[in-house]
Amino acid sequence: MILNVSGRTDIVAFYSEWFMNRYKEGFVDVRNPFYPKKVSRIEFKDVDAIVFCTKNPIPILKYLSIINKPILFHITLTPYKKDIEPNVPPKGDIIEAIKKISKIVGINNIYVRYDPIFLNDRYNLHYHIKAFDNMCKKLNGYVKHIIISFIDDYKNVRNNNNILKIKKFTSEDYKQIGINFSKSAKENNMTVQTCSEEENLVEYGFIKEDCVSHTLAFKLTGKTNFKKWTSRNNKNCNCVSMVDIGVYNSCKHFCKYCYANYKEKKVICNFNNHNPKSSLLIGELESDDEIVLRKE
C-alpha cells in the first residue's frame, strides 16, 4: 500500500504534528468522503511507501529522520503571488527546504510540480517561461524531475474567475511552453513531463511518464503488484493506486485555483475541528462509525 499524504489537503503544511502522532501510534483512520460513517483504518505496518504532496514541506523536515518508510516528495512550486496563493510561504524558503529534503531522501525521490499553469494579463506566457527557467537554475543539482499541468475547470476556479481572469491557451502557447520548458529543464539536468494532460508536449522534448508510475513504485518498494489508480477516472493517468488520508475543504493555503477546496467557511470550520491527537484528521470517532481495516 502506498499512502498519498495528500491530494485532498496539505497535511504536511498544516497537520504534520497529527501525521507524526498517527505514525508513532501505528495507524490512521480515514472517513469515506462519500459515506461518512464508514471509516477505513490503515495500519502503518501495511504501508510500503509514503508520497508527500505539499506546497510547504518545511513542517515535516524535522520528522523525516523518524520515518522508517520509503518516501517520495511531490512539492508544488509555482510563481504566483499572494493574489492567487495568499497563504503559501515565500518561494525562496520553499526552495531551501527542497534542497534539504533532496539531501535526505535522495534526488530521485523528489519531484517538483509546476502546476497548475494558467495565463492572464499578469501571469502571461513570458512570465511563466522566465519563472520556470529561474526555478530550474535554482534547483539544479537538487531536483531531476519536474511535472507540469494546466488549469482545469474546477468549481473553485469558476468561483474565483474574477481574480484568476484566465485566458484560453492557444496552440502557440502550448508550443512555446513545450519548447522553452524543455530547454530550461535540459540545461539544468532535469526531465520535464505533464500530468495526465491531453497536451503532453512530447513533440517538444517532454518525456511521457506518470507521476507515480509502476516503475517508480517498484524502485521505492521492490514490489510489482500495485493496481492502476482507477478512482481518478482520468484516461490519461496510469499511476499506481494510492490511499489518500486527507479531507477535502481543510487546506488553509486558500489557493484560488484549488480543486480540493470549494468552501472557505468549511475550511475554517474543519480546521477548528482538528485535534492533533485524534485518529481522524478532522473530528473524532463516533459510536456509530463502522471501522474497517484496510489492506491492499
Torsion angle in degrees (nearest 10) through CA of 79, 85, 90, 91: -30
Q: What is the mean pLDDT of residues 139-144?
A: 98
Q: What is the mean pLDDT of residues 125-151?
A: 98
Binned at pLDDT 50, 70 and 90, residue 284 comes out as: very high
Q: What is the mean pLDDT of residues 7-27?
A: 98
Q: Between the CA of residue 204 and those of 112, 119, 162, 187, what are the distances in Å?
A: 20, 20, 33, 14
pLDDT surpassing 70 at residue 25:
yes
Q: What is the mean pLDDT of residues 30-49?
A: 95
The whole-angstrom separation of Cα 171 and Cα 181 is 15
Q: Output the CA torsion sign for 8, 14, 15, 16.
A: positive
181 with 147: CB under 8 angstroms?
Answer: no
pLDDT surpassing 90 at residue 22:
yes
The whole-angstrom separation of Cα 106 and Cα 16 is 21
pLDDT surpassing 90 at residue 46:
yes
The per-residue pLDDT for 232 is 63
19 with 5: CB under 8 angstroms?
Answer: yes
Q: What is the mean pLDDT of residues 102-106?
A: 97
Q: What is the mean pLDDT of residues 104-119?
A: 97
Q: What is the pLDDT of residues 55-66, one digit of tens each?
A: 999 999 999 999
Q: What is the mean pLDDT of residues 14-29?
A: 98
Domain boundaries, the chain: 2-151+168-248+272-293
Q: What is the mean pLDDT of residues 5-30?
A: 98
pLDDT surpassing 80 at residue 230:
no
Residue type, 206: F
Provide the whole-model pTM. Answer: 0.95
288 with 185: CB under 8 angstroms?
Answer: no
The per-residue pLDDT for 233 is 66
Nearest to 198 by CA among 234, 163, 228: 234
Look at 48-62, 79-93, 212-226 and tell me which has the smallest mean pLDDT.
212-226
What are 153's strand-pairing partners? none
Look at 6-15, 33-42, 73-82, 220-229 and tell me which has the smallest mean pLDDT.
220-229
Binned at pLDDT 50, 70 and 90, residue 45 comes out as: very high
The pair phi, psi for residue 214, each rounded to 5°, is -65, -35
The per-residue pLDDT for 122 is 98
Q: What is the mean pLDDT of residues 83-111?
A: 98
| Cell of residue 4, nine digits | 498519498
pLDDT surpassing 80 at residue 108:
yes
Residues in the chain: 296
Count CA atoms within 13 Å of residue 204 on its CB side: 21
Binned at pLDDT 50, 70 and 90, residue 234 comes out as: confident
pLDDT surpassing 90 at residue 68:
yes
- The average confidence (pLDDT) of the chain is 95
The whole-angstrom separation of Cα 71 and Cα 209 is 19
